[in-house]
Amino acid sequence: MTTPPDTASPPLLAHGQTWEEMTVGSVFRTAARTITETDLITFVTWGGFTEPLFLDASHAAGGGYTGRLVPGALVYCLGEGLVLQTNVLHGTGLAFMSMDLTIKRPAYVGDTLHVVVEVTGARAASSGNRGVVTARNSVRNQRGEDVLIYTPVRLIRGRDYQEPGLTVRLDKLNNLANSGIMRRSGAIGWVTRLLASLGSPPPPPRRRFAARTQVAVGPAARCPRPASVRPAARRTTAGLRR
């Protein structure tokens, strides 16, 4: 008998490593990426790197550079992106805490970069099922030369990590919304189950309003003239008739 697949909450295709799995001395290599002229112009325009070294080829050549020079910040961003594309931190990374960065040689448009990652430290964090992992990431060109080296310190989830302070998990709500409960019981039943999962809401605050006098609007609400005005008007009219 074949068990049908769980389509409500299938497992992730790729899951990152916990800090316990990032053992000291482990090494891996990322995929490679070639730097293009579009990469350079997009980055310097977006980031505001409007320096002649990156925009004026003749100016860069006057400084001894032999090609279209690429900012070190772009090299770092490409290298970090290559690391993340391996999914080693997918779903397990919590924070980027600090790093040291050293630029070894210039990078140019047309260079092809990859990253070699070596774990140099891994320890439990001071609280929670988390760990602090340090690595040495070497960004290298197509000739295997180190272009940039940075040493990130990251906060990584552990095997038994529990998300703090969440009354209702998003995946639980997604499973409820994607299941057949909504189709079978209608919107009212689904909303009832959703509210039940959220718990009883706090009572609304009590408000006090000052009493207001209601005034009728219409012909019947016209205020008569004061009595002291009407006799005076009659005496004036009587005087005119005489």
CA pair distance 87, 15, nearest whole angstrom: 7
Q: Where does the pLDDT of residue 25 fall: very low under 50, low under 70, confident under 90, or very high at 90 and above?
A: very high
Helix residue spans in 98-205 (DSSP H):
170-178, 181-198
Confidence (pLDDT) at 149: 98
- Select from 3.30.420.270, 3.50.50.60, 3.10.129.10, 1.10.1240.10 the CATH code of 19-157: 3.10.129.10
Identify the residue with better confidence: 7 or 18: 18
Name the residue ranges covered by the structural domains of the chain.
19-157, 165-196
**DSSP 8-state assignment for residue 19:** G
**Whether residue 242 has pLDDT greater than 50:** no
Identify the residue with better confidence: 16 or 211: 16
Q: Is 161 helix (H, G, I), strand (E, B) or coil?
A: coil
Max distance between CA atoms of the chain, in angstroms, equals 126
Confidence (pLDDT) at 168: 47
Confidence (pLDDT) at 204: 64
Query: CA separation (Å) from 55 to 66, 70, 224?
Result: 14, 10, 86
Element containing residue 37 per DSSP (H, E): helix 37-47
Q: Are residues 164 and 147 in contact, defined by beta-carbon separation less than 8 angstroms?
A: no
In this prediction, residues 175-199 reach a mean pLDDT of: 60
In this prediction, residues 56-74 reach a mean pLDDT of: 96
What digits encode the pLDDT tens for the residues 118-162?
999 999 998 888 999 999 999 999 999 999 999 999 999 999 888
Query: CA separation (Å) from 98 to 90, 95, 101, 152?
Result: 19, 9, 10, 6
| High-pLDDT (> 90) share of the chain, % | 57
Strands, E assignment, the chain:
27-29, 33-34, 69-70, 93-98, 101-103, 107-108, 112-124, 130-140, 146-150, 153-157
CA pair distance 133, 52, nearest whole angstrom: 38
Average pLDDT, the chain: 82
Q: What is the pTM of this model?
A: 0.65
Adjacent-strand bridge partners of 116: 29, 138
**Whether residue 239 has pLDDT greater than 60:** no
Q: Are residues 140 and 155 in contact, defined by beta-carbon separation less than 8 angstroms?
A: no
Confidence (pLDDT) at 167: 41
The residue type at 108? Y
Structure tokens at 21: 């799995």
Q: Where does the pLDDT of residue 10 fall: very low under 50, low under 70, confident under 90, or very high at 90 and above?
A: confident
